Amino acid sequence: MLTTIIAVIIVLGGLIFFHELGHFAVARALGMGVSTFSLGFGPKILKYKRGKTEYALSLVPLGGYVALVGESDEADIPEGFSKEESFALRPAWQRLLVVAAGPTANIVLAWLLCWGLAFGWGTPVLLPQVGAVTENSPAARAGLRPGDRILSVNGQTVESWEAMSDAIARSDGRPMRLEVERVAPGAAVQTPPDADDRRGQDLTANDRLALELTAERATRKTIFGENETAWLIGVRAAGSVATHPESFWNAASAGADQTWRMVSLTWQSFVKLAERVVPLDQVGGPIMIAQMVGEQAHQGLAGLLALTALISVNLGILNLLPIPILDGGQVVFCLLEILFRRPVNRKVQEYAMRVGLALLIGLMLLATFNDVWRLLKS
């Protein structure tokens, strides 16, 4: 329990703090005034003033906050600051950069974590090893069996299940030649009559054979449970994973690729949620996050860092949604001001903020209800 509590504080607190650090860094770089930068919320335990900014350590360690001069009221200029340092009086493009810096910092943090994971632990790759073969499928008719590892498709080496799937999709229904390694230990297998020129021969373990087959258009489920039609041969992955070591700079590139995949998947998840493809009971909140963090904390550092990167991406994308009370809503206001060369009407902004607050509270209540309901059912 203590390990879980500490892990949750470090992960959630660190993510929110890094988010606020993004706002702070860009605001200071643009010469805007920052009266307070706090690690944590609530009463201040320790504080230190450097220049005009007070740096504080507050009682509640979950996150932090940045108090920008003139952020809530352009006339509210604390002693020691000037109007030129007011956030509200700066051009819209500068305010947009400051607002967008928080979510951007979360994406950058996810990339740094993925970079560290790739360099320290390597890049995990799902191997193109067959776990199951669908009856009467092209794979079954060609003689593929569970345990077989596909080495190449039409002469193109495939080192991952993803690369193999892409190669099959590119076949576009044309005949393919697969080079396969039969890895079932100690098994003697009989190739089908049309498998290759070694028909009728018994193959020993780890032998290689060439199979010819043609993919068929078939329906499969996406990660969101939707049906999609694709060129398939009727196999499922065995789930075998290999880890490829990465050099320092290659790890940076691999981390960027992994971060982009998480960003894309997270954005699609929000879109599918809005389209009701993903049911509302799948929405999770702080309780579910705490459970996941606790589980990974007990399993090892690599899993915890990977989960932290995923949560960081989710936090960044969530804050970029065009809901007025979130950073994304403020980005929209700034873009409208740049486009029409005048600020959005103050009353319109206030009304939009109320609507946004209601939406956010509703989302939080839904997530909390789902979390509690899952606990009661478990």
Helix (H, G, I), strand (E, B) or coil at 11: helix
Rg (CA), the chain: 27
pLDDT of 191: 44
Tokens (6 digits) for 172? 């576009």
Tokens (6 digits) for 45? 């335990």
- Encode pLDDT of 50-76 as tens digits: 889 999 988 887 778 899 998 877 777
Q: Domain check: are 221 and 160 in the same one?
A: yes
Percent of the chain with pLDDT over 90: 55
36: in domain: no
pLDDT of 184: 52
Residue 198 structural domain = 126-243
pLDDT of 232: 93
Q: Domain check: are 202 and 271 in the same one?
A: no
Q: Which 8-state DSSP code applies to residue 168?
A: H
pLDDT of 144: 92
Q: Which 8-state DSSP code applies to residue 125?
A: E
Helix (H, G, I), strand (E, B) or coil at 49: strand
Element (DSSP H or E) covering residue 149: strand 148-153
Among the candidates 243, 270, 305, a domain finishes at: 243
Rounded to an integer, the average pLDDT of 336-340 is: 94
Q: Domain check: are 286 and 225 in the same one?
A: no
Question: What's the number of CA atoms in the CB half-sphere (13 Å) around residue 34?
Answer: 25
Residue 222, pLDDT above cutoff 90: no
pLDDT of 278: 82
1: in domain: no
Q: Which 8-state DSSP code applies to residue 326?
A: S
The CATH code of the domain that includes 219 is 2.30.42.10
Rounded to an integer, the average pLDDT of 353-367 is: 90
Tokens (6 digits) for 334? 């700034």
Residue 199, pLDDT above cutoff 80: no
| Global pTM value | 0.84
- Encode pLDDT of 88-104 as tens digits: 899 999 999 999 999 99
109: in domain: yes
The total number of structural domains in the chain stands at 2
Q: Domain check: are 118 and 182 in the same one?
A: no
Q: Domain check: are 309 and 199 in the same one?
A: no
Block residue for tokens 């998480």? 262
- Paired sense of beta strands 53-68 and 123-126, if any: unpaired
DSSP codes of every residue in 41-66 = EEEEEEEEEETTEEEEEEEEEEEEEE
Q: Domain check: are 259 and 343 in the same one?
A: yes
4: in domain: no
Q: What is the mean pLDDT of the chain?
A: 88
E strands, 158-240, where?
Answer: 175-182, 189-190, 202-203, 207-214, 216-221, 227-232, 235-237
Rounded to an integer, the average pLDDT of 284-310 is: 89
337: in domain: yes
296: in domain: yes
The angle formed by the CA atoms of residues 179, 184 and 187, to the nearest 5 degrees, is: 110
